[in-house]
Structure 1
Amino acid sequence: MAARIERLVTSGQFTLDGGTWDVDNNVWIVGDDHEAVVIDAAHDAQAIAKAVGGRRLIAIVCTHAHNDHVNAAPALADLTGAKIWLHPDDMPLWRMTHPDREPDEHLADGQVIEAAGADLKVIHTPGHAPGAVCLHDPGLAAVFTGDTLFRGGPGATGRSYSHFPTIIDSIRDRLLTLPPETKVLTGHGDSTTIGAEAPHLQEWIDRGY
């Protein structure tokens, strides 16, 4: 059975640099009827576990360690026995939310996470956060971009541990080189495609988006 992509939207708060904002997060589940991977365990471990159902959870992959993307990861790991994966460059952010719980495994650029016939290749895309990653599966014609690339522009870079020129380099060199039909499945909001976003790169640079 071929892998499929499911989206669950969870709600909670994002907190950084003394501010707190209400947010809705996309939690992505990639798998078949037997096993799955969760991308970004946000806010509600019980709801995510219910969406996974009786499937074996292979991994909980964090696109980055802002609290709204990882706050439910330890509880989901406890419920399912799955390991938490995070790029090591995001450990300072991770420890802000989970000072007493380490991720189980470190992600590396070029690594492939396999589940249910899906092959999720890790692409290190710093800028929104130092250890931000995207996950690309050519077979699914999709890239999971976390908060690196949204419909309409790059992720925010106005807070600690972020850097606008770096996110532009990541998007230009690592994402916009993917096939134009590739679906961009984001950490918040609506999806888009590489082809829809690529023509706007210079606009983003000019306005320092």
Structure 2
Amino acid sequence: MTLRVDHGVASGTFSLDGETHEVDNNLWVVGDDEECVVIDAPHDASAITRLVGGRRVKAILLTHAHDDHSRVAPELRQQVGAPILLHPDDKPLWELTHGGPDDPDAQLWDVDLTDEQSVKVAGASIKVLHTPGHAPGAVCFYVHDLGCVFTGDTLFQGGPGATGRSYSDEDVIKDSIRARLLALPDETVVHTGHGDDTTIGAERAGLDA
């Protein structure tokens, strides 16, 4: 089977620090005709399951726990029978959306992501890169066999993700990008959480400045 990336877009809201904004999020599914993983779970579980089709979902991989990336993860988990994987440093953000220890209806993710971990799908390895800054538990997913990296809100076309809200830090995100993402080949395609693709090479000049 041929490894591939399927892409869609879902619209909804992002809320943090008392502000709510309308946003469009990219949907990403990586796999072949038999099995796949889902990267992030924003807004609309049905839009994600349409991308999945009849394939077996091995995991729901979250780049971070902001509500516009994790909101429908528990619903999607129930629909496709796959575990949710999240870096544990994003627990405070997860609890803002899915409830904390004092909430009887709170929902948890299933498996902690760790830096350098490999997630297997369709004969390929997806490497976890811990890239804090936009969120403390933010990660990127590098797929060597496809020459691409899924950066969530860590790196966009035009530069780093936003760091003006709670649990974020501009110096940390820049350090993360320089140390982890700029180490990838220039031709690596960057699939972002919002907006258009870019490449590591295209973003390198601005980040090296």
Q: In structure 2, give the amino acid aligned to 1:124.
A: H
Note the 1:119-198 alignment, pairs <5 A.
119-198=125-204
Moved over 3 A (4+): none
* 1:21-170 equivalence runs, <5 A: 21-99=21-99, 100-170=106-176
Query: What is the CA deviation profile of residues 56-93 of structure 1, one whole-angstrom value per residue up to 9, with x for unaligned ones?
Result: 00000000000000001000000010000000000100
Distance, in Å, in 2 between the alignment partners of 1:34 and 1:146 is 25
Amino acid at match of 1:163: D
Equivalent-residue separation in structure 1 for 2:33 and 2:17 (angstroms): 41
Give 1:2 deviation, angstroms: 2.2
Preserved contact between residue 2 and residue 33 of structure 2 (Cα < 8 Å)? no
CA distance in 2, matches of 1:155, 1:114: 27
Query: Secondary structure at the residue paired with 2:43?
Result: coil
User: Which residue pairs with 1:207 in the alignment?
Assistant: none
Deviating more after overlay: 1-10 vs 14-23: 1-10
User: Could you tell me whether the CA contact under 8 Å between 2:141 and 2:149 is conserved in 1?
Assistant: yes
The residue type equivalent to 1:19 in the other structure is E
What fraction of aligned residue pairs are identical, expressed as a percent?
61
**Partner Cα separation in structure 1 for residue 135 and residue 41 of structure 2:** 17
Structure 1: unaligned runs, 5 residues or longer:
204-209
1:115-155 CA-partner distances (Å, limit 9, x unpaired): 11221100000000000000001110000000000000000
Which residue number corresponds to residue 206 of structure 1?
Answer: none
Q: Distance in 1 between matches of 2:39 and 2:124?
A: 13
Q: 3-state SS of the aligned residue for 1:169?
A: helix
User: How many residues end up aligned between the 2 structures?
Assistant: 203
Match of 2:115, SS?
coil
- Which amino acid counterpart does residue 167 of structure 2 have in structure 1? Y
Q: CA deviation at 1:37?
A: 0.3
The equivalent residue for 2:102 is none
Q: TM-score, normalised by structure 1?
A: 0.96
Rounded to whole Å, the distance in 2 between the matches of 1:119 and 1:192 is 22
C-alpha separation between the residues in 1 aligned to 2:46 and 2:63?
Answer: 20
Q: Give, in angstroms, the shift of residue 202 of structure 1.
A: 4.3
Q: Which residue of 1 aligns with 2:103?
A: none
TM-score by length of 2: 0.96
How far apart are the structure 2 equivalents of 1:199 and 1:117?
34
Provide Cα deviations, 1:157-198, integer angstroms capped at 9, x if missing partner.
Answer: 000000000000000010011000000000000000000000
Q: Is the 8 A contact 1:2 1:117 kept in 2?
A: no
